[in-house]
Amino acid sequence: MIPDEATTNNAIALSEQLAENKTYFTLKDGEYYPHASLYMAQLNMDQIDEIKEHLSIVAANTAKITLTPKEFHQDWGYVDIEYERELQSDTLQMDVVHATNPIRDGLRQKDIDRLPDAKGLERENILNYGYRSVGEKFAPHITITRFADRKDIDLTTLPDVSTFKATFTKIGVFEMGENGTCIKKIAEFDFGQ
């Protein structure tokens, strides 16, 4: 999901502020796009037109989604804004998964690597969808950066998380880079309702 312009600008500004530390990436529109992932899958680029067609239909049948931020979160050097789950975003995720999963191309290397240690629903999701964070495991968030040394920072020094209330009015298909980044926009689709 692609956030509104104000949230995008706030996320980029915070990422730039945190870049004074050694980071793997700094958000920048057109390079490391701010986003909230719905689904990460290994795709066959020969089928990208089919995927785009399916996702354009999903977007056309989706109304804008507003998510409320609940907290900043840190893990493995990542700094994320975590959002409250909403029925609308949960439904959109499953619509995207059901539209894309039948034509995904196996597993991403990261999920192949996770599979031996994955248990329960996480393992089922990887096997069924090629992505561990589906359904009950879905946790909407925007990643701000990742520190190269995996250090933790004092989250109380960050802006009030409420300033990151986000309205999403489109979905996109992106090429992924390392660290879950969106490095190249392939297509985006406005919500139709």
The reported pLDDT for the residue numbered 186 is 96
What is the number of other CB atoms lying within 10 angstroms of the CB of residue 66?
A: 15
The reported pLDDT for the residue numbered 30 is 86
Q: Are 164 and 10 in contact (CB under 8 A)?
A: yes
For the domain made up of 2-86+139-190, give the CATH fold: Cyclic Phosphodiesterase; Chain: A, (3.90.1140)
Q: What is the pTM of this model?
A: 0.94
The reported pLDDT for the residue numbered 95 is 98
The reported pLDDT for the residue numbered 178 is 87
The secondary structure of 135-192, three-state, reads HHHCCCEEEEEEECCCCCCCHHHCCCHHHHCEEEEEEEEEEECHHHCEEEEEEEEECC
Query: What parts of the chain have a pLDDT lower than 50?
Result: none
Q: Which amino acid is at 173?
A: V
The reported pLDDT for the residue numbered 103 is 92
The reported pLDDT for the residue numbered 151 is 85
What is the number of other CB atoms lying within 10 angstroms of the CB of residue 132?
A: 20
The reported pLDDT for the residue numbered 193 is 66
The reported pLDDT for the residue numbered 29 is 83
